[in-house]
Structure 1
């Protein structure tokens, strides 16, 4: 298994290389310190798995790099390794094309299991994220689905929801749908009220569950 490690801290890259190289038939074939270098190295080395940091302030970030890499190397699995235990980062990573998401605070055994999982074509989420998603799913089952019905949204509201979930600002949504910013804000308020949501991450998760986000 050829592995490329992407992180802006050389100590982290060196530590991961020492930890992973030779384990479970893993060969660390390269390292990159930021997104543009990661894209170049990925095209040059054709790794099976890329271990991708998200926050790399000195260059292109991990989300943008993941999106570009998946466009040119769709068979390469990207496993996000980050300190961000946050649902919005998680769903943005999935939207960018990542196959897995694991925290830097995870045990070494979990990291090895995550790498193996995405290498074999499966998805991987860190246990805390999985637990939160399952908890929310059970809450919806217990609620009977009555309070958060997709059918209650108008066609325009569904369109606005999709654009919001993809990370577009109110102004950008208005320009794409050829409506005013005020109208977008009204639709967003109506969506929040109908679905009983209060935050953008909740909208992103709901849109993902409803299949509104295209990951191709």
Structure 2
């Protein structure tokens, strides 16, 4: 990729002055990736900067101390007013519900763990400037863990037995439910976990259960 032809003109929106200035100092060291850099610390400053400065990428914290707005509100407003602007969300806590709202409803472009280094931020900038979405590996792992934590008690019973080599009929007998119900649970789990098939589902679950968070897929 020719990074020199696709620089990010960045607006950082974070109510932490120290964090924002630290990020500015880091980004300034990479002129091949970043053109201009603006900073805003609240909703009003962000909208003013977008109206007066050249910005193609927003790096936005998800959490603000204000009771009137947060990163969701700002991101939604920006995508409504400036749909072509790329938005990279920074967060200290990845949640499945947040992910779904941000990507499926607000249509942000990137999602980063706020504690990661500059390399991850540059990777996200490169991706979004080439019209790709970007989710860092730590958040991906946390989101996959969250998927398993959110399954029902019965789904957990089914996948546990399935991973231990039980057939669908044996699972049905063991749990005192019908084979069709077992099949439905497996089908639902396969869809939730975006598995290709039942063996792939079992493989994902086994890696999750064994604690291999970084390579679930």
Same-fold call, TM cutoff 0.5: yes
Q: Distance in 1 between matches of 2:94 and 2:38?
A: 26
Determine whether 1:72 maps to 2:101: no
Q: Which 4+ residue blocks in structure 1 deviate beyond 3 angstroms?
A: 131-137, 142-145
User: Any unmatched runs of 5+ in structure 1?
Assistant: 151-216
> Cα–Cα, structure 1 residues 28 and 10, in superposed 2: closer, same or farther, change >3 Å?
farther
Q: Distance in 1 between matches of 2:64 and 2:128?
A: 23
Whichever of the two has the greater Rg, that structure is 2
User: Any unmatched runs of 5+ in structure 2?
Assistant: 1-7, 163-181, 189-217
CA contact (8 A) 1:79 1:101 kept: yes
Q: Structure 1 residue 84: deviation in Å? A: 1.7
Q: Which residue of 1 aligns with 2:55?
A: 47
Query: Of 64, 67, 73, which residue of structure 2 is paired with 1:56?
Result: 64
- Provide the TM-score with structure 2 as the length reference: 0.59
Q: Deviations over 1:166-188 (max 9, x none)?
A: xxxxxxxxxxxxxxxxxxxxxxx
- Provide the TM-score with structure 1 as the length reference: 0.60
Q: Structure 1 residue 71: deviation in Å? A: 1.1
Q: Which residue of 2 aligns with 1:89?
A: 98
Q: Which residue of 1 aligns with 2:184?
A: 146
Q: Which residue of 2 aligns with 1:126?
A: 136
The residue matched to 2:184 in structure 1 has which SS?
coil
Q: Alpha carbon RMSD of aligned pairs, Å?
A: 2.7
Q: Which residue of 1 aligns with 2:201?
A: none
